Structure 1
């Protein structure tokens, strides 16, 4: 056969990246190849992974909160952070989720909305992977509508007392601190929402693990149960009032997903390209058939467009001009295309595609969760629709 090109080389993606960005991407890719990929199938099958051990190693690598400034954080560009997410999710969405929740949700919440004392207490240890954080917003009955949350925080003298339940919280069962959002009586409607830092050894706090997942199995997911959890006044994030606090954190996490989903899709496509070159059917490689090449061409086109979109949004974020509706464009498109690519690649692998010997169906199953969390496709469609029409259609 003639010489081949990878999909990203076909688009000339490397020419769009700076030297430091490529170096960061290569560093994380090597870590994923050496430390993560050999055990991923076993972790996925077992529904468990050594999260605390990996968090320390990821801290040593410098990727936890890497796009934040100070407090032990690397202070990289947003684009470099996105590329790190891409390589982590090319290994497994669960590993990118671990880093995303730590850096873009829990650490960002403290960095953006916390007091100086809170930052000094938590951020250096979290950047090093010595302390793990989680982010408690979603509830059993309130996902896309966080303003309806039932978790309450009431004043009792100088203290706050929290009661409620959060659901589908990555890292919760192993976390040292939970960023918990609750309704208070100090503001009308959703303006009364405040954030609290809850050390997980606080009496009344529990985080039972959610078992029997068919997706994100190489990730630790749990509930948060708050039963008269008493906190000092200093536990409240002083700069966050209303839903703008948690929603700003979600936008940070969605940005990582824009790149991460491309990583999962790229891994599927690279595996499929290798497979069809080796697999012979009717006395010639599967790659030699027109229908196979049509599938590969279409998938490469969507992968390349998704990567170009991710880099463009990364440049906007680095310039400080990225808007929430643009984040929705990236999350909606890139996850939707990634899951379509994963499913199509599975067809090229045939029956082999359903085994853990190949990562394709593992990626597809993981992307089912990514498609839903940090805003469902429908929520992002309505966000884009509002930006286009000026009319909100959420209710």
Structure 2
């Protein structure tokens, strides 16, 4: 196949240059030329085709082919010229009209992809990681200066996503809104993402009108667009905004939906969902179901301490309430509460390595409070330590 592709290239050029299939032949033969040591021939030819494709009138553009050409060019250039030389060329692209904002945006987005790939190979605390982040930020700042209506659909999405995660997230609104008003197949593919992004921004506003608008957007993502990849995120956001609106029954259903789909979302997002499910159950009066949900979080998602510590705190509170509601004998009540004290003491020892959260700090303060409330004696404390295997353990150093 390599020989055939190289032969096709040599047969096609220069006799058929400028004909309809020149871009397709250029991108198709690039890898083969690379394999026989002629990468520069292929890269130089593809540079010409990128300018040709990117200079067509909007109505005549083949964006899929343009994307493929730029992506293939960039990958081959990195392999043969190196990342920095590729970035330099993408930034000063041969033959590019400086007034062609649309093509300039495509090339800038490819620069971002190269920079992000370079950054992904580094640890976050490396100085080079921060330097690459600064360079990525600079590319997006420059793209912000472009006329919104001249940007491609994928550029609108990428810039909107970038800005919505920046220090000024609401700057992303106009890019998402522009996507939603466009009527073409490329925009249609990204409208679910734009609605989700706008909904997330509206959900952050304190007024109920914005939050209700966000709710409508999340429901559209779920019910209208049919984008299965975004459905889990939309359910999570819907549950969050329903909690903010104190629509506890609706929020409960959203988190129940997530919990039923075991492959949805990341592990930490599932921990959040299960914790929020417990909160909603508690709000609608199902304390038994809430306890079950909270227990599931701290038992199965312990390392996600933001959620496991809150869940464990809830277990302590609801557990005491349950004991008092279902027992009248003070001796039985004290014995059952001591079991919770033992559990709390063990967990505070086991969770020493975790980064402190507000809930963890409250739980640590709660331990001596419970000891005093229950009137636990020195001898009882020693017996508890022996039972838990803590009698030979040196106390943890103070933080």
Regarding TM over 0.5, the answer is: no
Shorter-chain TM-score tier: under 0.3
Query: So what's the TM-score if we normalise by structure 2?
Result: 0.24
When Rg is computed on C-alpha atoms for both structures, the one with the higher figure is 2
Greater helix content: 2
Query: So what's the TM-score if we normalise by structure 1?
Result: 0.24
| Higher RCO (CA-CA < 8 Å; seq separation 6+) | 1
